[in-house]
Chains A and B, each alone.
Chain A
């Protein structure tokens, strides 16, 4: 069972307390964007076999959105961090690098 630590209230919440919110750090494209960008924003989700950054919500707890770094191959959790950022903090990147040297995810890497 997946257990994530909520970075706001510090609770180690298991899955039934959480709601998965999909890919993290999406850059939004709307009116005025190119067809290509709008298409990718709407439909081209990252679907990596390995390191993945996602949004979660502590829905049956403090109710807040946060980010998690996780491995989709092993279900290992590297760490969680707050929602108020457009890229994972260095501390999280280091935690991922410690277990998956050379990782990349979208434009991010160690």
Chain B
């Protein structure tokens, strides 16, 4: 792998850019791998990357039915934050956020991490109390957040209307080192680094069956033939129920559509990320100038990667109250992804009833921010059989009643 650098740009500029190589290889599958990861989205690629980097396991294949990063990794609103209420969530999301800080240097690939700050608006008395509680919890967890008053919110976000007719802004939970990153680049950076370690990324290769013997996983059947493995990691988000059924067990998740949209590009007007959970809307401005807007999920099970139009209308209508200028914007594009939601709105990083088969799923509406931490924990679990970060996220927690209840703490914009 050739390194990217200012010198490389200059060198290629002098020879008509003829020397750039492909960022990752597209090999044919081998007969056997030590580890197969199903799903080449952010979480799957991050799992493979940390298996190689932290544990030296590089005989790894990452199998993807479409193209890498083409699912929820390329469909989210790219928000990164770790201001969660519960200790296990704060630990893994803060691990992820701190890894994002120097991921570009780690990869030698610019993921454009922009720690511009995230505000979660409190627009009801209930939210004020909730976010103050979260700020106190974060102080104990070592996550830097603070409660800010409306005047400070207005200073950070001049385009905001504090005296909304229904939901006035009563303050906010401010995480200064939260922000955004380029979502595609996160997947591409991980893929390039995995490929450089000798791992095979097999795109357009769909898993059609999971083979088990005596309760242990031995391989997968794919559209490119059977491939054997010692350990299997399922990291396929919305399709995890479908895949787990192939291995003969069920997961406590439901798949629903989550949508996002962007406006036409406009001049810089908001240099932080703002989330308004009461009205189910969140917004940031991309480097291209588009206002990136996300809302809530649809209410019914769906695998179509498109959502209901009235949800977009609701999201935008809610945002217009808080940001009147949004009413003057033309919306350019809208899209949906299929997110897998668990009963307590927290993810699963877990062993499964099938030996040597592990699952990383259930990130619901908030997976992007967790990618590095999720991969770190999943790799540790797969390599050593135990991970402190992942321990509380076992799928057994529902039976034991040890929920990590973030649906109250984070509302819909998770």
Contacts and interface: CB of A to CB of B under 8 A. Distances in A.
Interface of A: 1-2, 15-16, 19-20, 35, 39, 42-45, 47-49, 52, 54, 70, 72-75
A44 B252 contact: yes
Interface of B: 239, 241-242, 250-255, 298-304, 308-310, 342-343, 398-399
Contact of A49 (B242, B250, B300): B242
B301 A54 contact: yes
Contacts of B310: 1, 15-16
Contact of A75 (B239, B299, B302): B302
Contacts of B254: 45, 47
Contacts of A73: 303-304
B304 A42 contact: no
B242 A72 contact: no
Contacts of A54: 300-301
Contacts of B309: 1
A19 B299 contact: yes
A1 B310 CA distance: 8
B302 to A, nearest CB: 6
A11 to B, nearest CB: 17
Contact of A15 (B308, B398, B399): B308
A13 to B, nearest CB: 13
Contacts, number: 52
A54 to B, nearest CB: 7
Given A42-B343, A44-B250, A44-B252, A74 B300 contact: no
24 contacts: A2-B300, A2-B308, A15-B308, A15-B310, A16-B310, A19-B299, A20-B299, A20-B300, A42-B343, A42-B398, A43-B398, A44-B250, A45-B253, A47-B241, A47-B253, A47-B254, A47-B301, A48-B241, A49-B239, A54-B300, A70-B300, A72-B302, A74-B304, A75-B304
A72 B398 CA distance: 26
Contacts of A39: 398-399
B335 to A, nearest CB: 16
A20 B308 CA distance: 13
Contacts of B342: 43
Contacts of A43: 252, 342-343, 398
Contacts of A20: 298-300
Given A16-B310, A45-B254, A72 B301 contact: yes
Nearest to B301: A72
Contacts of B298: 20
A49 B252 CA distance: 15
Nearest to B395: A43
Contacts of A72: 255, 301-304
A78 B342 CA distance: 27
A20 B299 CA distance: 6
A1 to B, nearest CB: 6
A93 B152 CA distance: 59
A45 B251 CA distance: 8
A35 B399 CA distance: 7
B173 to A, nearest CB: 29
Nearest to B243: A49
Contacts of B253: 45, 47
A70 B253 CA distance: 19
Contacts of B398: 39, 42-43
Contacts of B300: 2, 20, 54, 70
A95 B273 CA distance: 48
A47 B304 contact: no
Contacts of B252: 43-45
Contacts of A74: 304
A20 B298 CA distance: 9
B55 to A, nearest CB: 32
Contacts of B399: 35, 39
A74 B310 CA distance: 19
Contacts of A47: 241, 251, 253-255, 301
Given A44-B252, A47-B254, 6 more contacts: A1-B309, A47-B241, A47-B255, A49-B239, A73-B303, A73-B304
B67 to A, nearest CB: 20
Nearest to B302: A72
A52 B343 contact: no
Contact of B303 (A2, A35, A49): A49
